[in-house]
Amino acid sequence: MADNQEPMANNGDLSSEETQTHSEREPFVDPKVYERLIDRLKNERHKLERDLKKDYRNARRYVRAHPEEGLGMAVVGGFIVGYFLGKLSRD
CB neighbourhood size of 70 (10 A): 14
pLDDT tens for each residue of the chain, 91 residues long: 455 555 454 555 555 555 556 556 665 778 899 999 999 999 999 999 999 999 999 999 988 999 999 889 999 999 999 999 999 888 6
Q: Encode 15-41: b = buried (16+ Cβ within 10 Å), e = exposed.
A: eeeeeeeeeeeeeeeeeeeeeeeeeee
**Where in the chain are the domains?**
18-84
Determine if residue 57 is left, alpha or beta; phi over 0 gives left, psi from -120 to 50 gives alpha, anything else beta: alpha
What is the model's pLDDT at position 27?
59
